[in-house]
Amino acid sequence: MKIGTISNWNEEKGYGFITPKDGDKDIFLHINDYSRIHKKPIKGLEVNYILNTDTKGRKCATEVFPLRGHKNNDREIRQKIFSIFVFISFGCVIYFLHSHNYIPNIIVGIYSTLSILAFLMYAKDKNAAELGTWRTQENTLHTIALLGGWPGAAIAQSFLRHKSKKLSFRIIYWITVILNCAGLYWLITPQGSLWLKIILRNINFG
């Protein structure tokens, strides 16, 4: 184990640098390599870490945790509980609407499929970020959320710890949630229900 001080930290992007106590060059630190049972990293925090190398041979810090104190995982736990609550609550809404014939099977299928797809895309993008390979565009993630994958995205953000800290991304994400829910509400109105039936009838005839 080595000792150093976090000399720079970008909360929005989830990475920073550690200045080693022995005077070596600064070491890269990614949030995924930081302790999950402590408060988020901050500039000036003394930490223990293991010097490692990434897939490209660059030096990086792994298994990083504060030298003393700084324990508090309440925020992460609250995020996970909230995402599970949102996921289950929306699932109950979908179940109620389907069981009372407000929405057809295809809508349930769309939400289920896109939620799984969203989770997999977040996992793929996180892996790409760690390996330094091609990333999934944020607009693509937002589009999947807007079309119905936002419940799966909520689980991915909290459990994969990906895209959960970037404020601009989170704002747009919640806008897609609101727009999608507004669209779902419209589909259960008489006008929206009629429109959906016409679309499905045309698809079946086609």
The reported pLDDT for the residue numbered 72 is 66
pTM to 2 decimals?
0.70
146 has a pLDDT exceeding 90: yes
Q: Which CATH code of 2.40.50.140, 1.10.10.10, 2.70.70.10, 3.40.630.10 fits the domain covering 2-66?
A: 2.40.50.140
Burial string for 147-156 (b: 16+ CB within 10 Å, else e) reads bbbbbbbbbb
pLDDT class of 116 with cuts at 50, 70, 90: very high
Tell me the domain boundaries of the chain.
2-66, 74-205
pLDDT tens-place string over residues 121-133: 999 998 887 677 7
Alpha carbon distance 110, 46 (integer Å): 47
Give the DSSP H/E element, type plus range, for residue 88.
helix 74-99
37 has a pLDDT exceeding 60: yes
When mean pLDDT is compared across 118-132, 145-159, 182-196, the lowest value belongs to 118-132
173 close to 145: Cβ distance less than 8 angstroms = yes
Which two tokens mark 23?
Answer: 């005077």
